[in-house]
Structure 1
């Protein structure tokens, strides 16, 4: 039964309503849900469609909503969410297809005055990605996240200490609300078809100031099915690029309905690249990912160990790049390495300090890869 039918059968005293402003996030959620509802009713009569559009316009334009004082009825109001869409302007935004394939969770946990709501999650064999919100009247800083751990029944102890990497994308919606995407990257090991996940945390931590932490206890349990995926392996001698002191090879690409993951191998002789024999030098490699249509792809970058003169000359790093689904019309992918040479500025007694560039970044010959071929 729809919420409108339920409301039609209820007799309410208007004095029992409290009028409060809608947050920016809530207005976006309502707009998204209404749009989706209306677009699926194409077979309805025009008169009914006009009525729904009028109702939708009234709800979206209005900047106020009513809170029902009847708990049983209020519990039936659906949770409206699309955290993936809210972060569309982030430089690492790779989530264009995530909302279509994610599992609705809709679980809220409150602890120490902080409400955390897990809205959606998705598992594609490459990553477990969880979208959630944090709400609190407390000052949590600019980039708060739930710090905890993921326990998957099917993994056992395989990912207890290594084989994974965590990434966070945070958007501050207003002074008291945040949207977060948590990416649990599965780098190696067992990847079953179904996961039974327990996600727990005891700290909300501000990533911009790790001294700002709020203790509590939050726990979420849900199950996820793996999306379809296909992996194409490459002969590294054919899909590689070299420059004096640098060798980059493409090893494989995995494609799923929500993402494309590019696996690489990097070998760098830091002394040769930096032309420096004595001082410590580090080399980082970024990438420009584009296709033959001129589209440039944003990505989430796992850098592995990176490159430093602390390693021996034969040390290899195995990064991977997670980006959007490739454009169906594209036939060639171009992977262009961008080389950055760094040093430690004003090192302390342990040799640690901020990294600064010692020369201008430069590119080397790109790797050309045919894509969207059966």
Structure 2
């Protein structure tokens, strides 16, 4: 007989234990915990449709709970943008970020803009949100901003994540894909957190006017002009325009207007044969649209890299390998 069957026969006297009802706070905390444990975890990958008439929002939902303690009184937690990009790596982008530390408040609560970082045709924001007492907020609630860069709106898509530090404080992350690269070293931004859960406008948005430097990023940015057309196994053509690499990301830009299929992506293969898969992508065969795949964590000064065409299921579409560097 197993020990578990033995334990089934044990008689316990429960009269010595006093049954206490859970407080509303404890009920809420446990409910959040259950929701967090059963939530689906998906990779951070954006699949965008063709001919976007308005801003498309692509959001990754991920739960993370940190115990109270000293964090509860901290308006800013260091290194947040790096952890949003890759929580498994010990990244340090201090040289490319601008610390802000400004706080705005409305009837929904306090929001502190912590950091801003510009990359090649993308923007990263981190903020800390302290909801007001009457506001029900959790990791499945999202706040998204409208951003003007040097007075203009370049936003194509906005992704985001809310991370619970405790029941009174949340980290708010956003990554924004931009229509064009930003070429000026010093950038004026108006960042207005004006949307609650995608479709509800905030009457008094949290608005910040900040100056951000990308001088260091532009100094280290490299552009590899490729301008080569390859023929896929099905006879259709794809033109690889360029590869842009920064200390933060590597992006491959290409033209699919001569391909009937939009299911064409690229992986990057190192000299020793290791394949790197992209983190996010946009594909369109509409004339004038530029498709791209974006990677993180590649060091071009350490090895030679090549481009290889694949579809979304991992099937190689061409035997041609295009050298990048």
Q: Deviations over 1:257-298 (max 9, x none)?
A: 22222111113554xx6xxxxxxxxx4334434433425244
Which position in structure 2 is the counterpart of 1:133? 128
Structure 1 runs (4+) deviating above 6 angstroms are none
**1:105 counterpart = 2:105:** no
**1:203 counterpart = 2:156:** no
Cα–Cα, structure 1 residues 260 and 199, in superposed 2: closer, same or farther, change >3 Å? Answer: same
Structure 2 unaligned blocks of 5 or more: 1-66
Q: Deviations over 1:171-210 (max 9, x none)?
A: 4335554434323333337622210111113222x25xx4
Q: Deviations over 1:29-77 (max 9, x none)?
A: xxxxxxxxxxxxxxxxxxxxxxxxxxxxxxxxx9634999xxxxxxxx8
Q: Distance in 2 between matches of 1:269 and 1:127?
A: 26
Which position in structure 1 is the counterpart of 2:81? 84
Cα–Cα, structure 1 residues 284 and 369, in superposed 2: closer, same or farther, change >3 Å? Answer: closer
Which position in structure 1 is the counterpart of 2:40? none
Q: Distance in 2 between matches of 1:67 and 1:269?
A: 53
Cα–Cα, structure 1 residues 368 and 173, in superposed 2: closer, same or farther, change >3 Å? Answer: farther
Cα–Cα, structure 1 residues 317 and 97, in superposed 2: closer, same or farther, change >3 Å? Answer: farther
**Cα RMSD after superposing both structures:** 3.6
- Aligned positions, number: 250
Q: Is the 8 A contact 1:84 1:96 kept in 2?
A: no
Which position in structure 1 is the counterpart of 2:144? 147
Q: Residue 324 of structure 1: which of 291, 296, 304 is its match?
A: 296
Q: Give 3-state SS (helix, strand or coil) of 2:311's partner.
A: strand
Cα–Cα, structure 1 residues 80 and 140, in superposed 2: closer, same or farther, change >3 Å? Answer: closer
Q: Deviations over 1:1-50 (max 9, x none)?
A: xxxxxxxxxxxxxxxxxxxxxxxxxxxxxxxxxxxxxxxxxxxxxxxxxx
Q: Is the 8 A contact 2:265 2:293 kept in 1?
A: no
> What TM-score do the two structures reach when normalised by structure 1?
0.55
Q: Give 3-state SS (helix, strand or coil) of 1:81's partner.
A: coil
Q: Residue 168 of structure 1: which of 154, 159, 172 is its match?
A: 159
Structure 1 unaligned blocks of 5 or more: 1-61, 69-76, 274-282, 341-360
Q: Distance in 1 between matches of 2:205 and 2:194?
A: 5
Residue range with higher mean Cα deviation, 79-88 or 251-260: 79-88
> What TM-score do the two structures reach when normalised by structure 2?
0.62
Q: Residue 336 of structure 1: which of 290, 293, 309 is its match?
A: 309
Q: Distance in 2 between matches of 1:95 and 1:267?
A: 39
Q: Distance in 1 between matches of 2:160 and 2:205?
A: 22
Q: Which has the higher contact order (CA 8 A, sep 6+)?
A: 2
Report the alpha carbon displacement of residue 364 of structure 1 after superposing the two structures with TM. Answer: 0.4
Q: Distance in 2 between matches of 1:83 and 1:230?
A: 26
